[in-house]
Amino acid sequence: MSLEQNNAYYSVLNYLQLPVVVLSANEHKEVFQNNSFQLVAQHYLNASNNPANRHLAQLISSRLLKNDVDKLEVEINNGSYRHIFRFTANVVGEHVIVEGEDITELKRSQFLFNRTNSLLEDYSKQMFELAHTDQLTNVPNRRALFAKFSQLQSNHKDFSCTVSLIDLDHFKRFNDSFGHDFGDQVLVTFAKHVKDSIDDTCYFARLGGEEFCLIQINNKDTFCFANTETLLQTTKTIKLMTPDNSNIGMSFSAGVAVYGKDGISLDELLNKADKALYIAKENGRSRVVKFEGA
Ligand SMILES: Nc1nc2c(ncn2[C@@H]2O[C@H](COP(=O)(O)OP(=O)(O)OP(=O)(O)O)[C@@H](O)[C@H]2O)c(=O)[nH]1
């Protein structure tokens, strides 16, 4: 191919705005002596950074390697790397026409984009956790309980459960006698006790204040009721050290409603459990009562 033809080819590539560099044997001796594709790439980068070299078209050695790569990583003088995309070096007549796209900045942007994306994902997971966790006791909150219930209901064809609404007895007295921090400690101790006592057929959440809910999934009503009673007995064995160094115990009252018999929505079940809880309180607290009404 003549120089004229090469220049025409080169102009077309320039017109298409493809980064094209023509390397000369005289100015880039080491490239041709070493026959190195990597060196071609480096010179391509140096030349494309320097517009004065762009139109360089001189005689070259036909010993130069002819090669094509989709992606190439090239180390430049300062030890950093640049990424070149669709890199080709073709011997055309007396010239080597080198083409490629320096996509280093694009790569950087992609990296930053991916990093930002994964940070945003982490952040939204954290936000989700925060929105579904009770900050004092670290157990699921009311929102999480409702979400879990509807998830269980829609995912399991034969779903059944009992709902125990649990209310700590005379909780206000802990606050009034020993301060709000001690009241907090009572709530944390109780929540931990329940978490340590249940297995993965149960879901336990704090509804707010001194009110908690225990859902027991796909077990017989009598078994679940007995479990809640056992939980009451073990709760009564907890001894808390008060700020004035005395021991104090705690208990709870609970109302229990059964899925299907007493309702199928969580609102309905909590409502029925609350009615049973009221009876438990009326009858002296520290007891578990099943909803028996219509
Ligand atoms: N320390 C502390 N107290 C809370 C928290 N949330 C609610 N309380 C307090 O809990 C107390 C609940 O009082 P009551 O509704 O009268 O309940 P109770 O004293 O347990 O009475 P009964 O349920 O009838 O046995 C109120 O004084 C609230 O201020 C909390 O996160 N930490």
Residue 129 falls within a domain, yes or no? Answer: no
Considering the domain architecture, whether residues 57 and 147 belong to the same structural domain is answered as no
Q: In angstroms, rounded to a whole number, what is the distance separating the alpha carbons of residues 31 and 122? A: 48
Q: How many angstroms is it from 180 CA to the middle of ligand 1?
A: 10
The tens-digit pLDDT sequence of the chain (294 residues) is 344 444 444 444 444 344 566 666 566 666 666 666 677 777 777 666 554 443 333 333 344 445 566 777 776 656 677 787 777 777 665 556 777 777 888 888 999 999 999 999 999 999 999 999 999 999 999 999 999 999 999 998 899 999 999 999 999 999 999 999 999 999 999 999 999 999 999 999 999 999 999 999 988 999 999 999 999 999 999 999 999 999 999 999 999 999 999 999 999 999 999 999 999 999 999 999 999 986
Assess whether the C-beta atom of 63 lies below 6 angstroms from ligand 1: no
Residues 178 and 265 in one domain: yes
Distance from the alpha carbon of residue 173 to the mean position of ligand 1, in angstroms: 8
Q: Is 87 within a domain?
A: yes
Domain of residue 90 covers: 3-105
Give 101: exposed, middle or buried? Use CB within 10 Å, 0-12, 13-18, 19+.
Answer: middle
- In eight-state DSSP terms, residue 264 is S
pLDDT of residue 178: 95
The residue whose CA is least distant from atom 32 of ligand 1 is: 184
User: How many whole angstroms from 211 Cα to the centroid of ligand 1?
Assistant: 9
Instruction: Identify the pLDDT of residue 216.
Output: 97
Same-domain pairing of 174 and 276: yes
The CA distance from 253 to 232, in Å, is 8
Q: Which atom of ligand 1 is nearest to the CA of 187?
A: 32
CATH of the domain at 264: 3.30.70.270
Q: pTM (2 decimals)?
A: 0.72
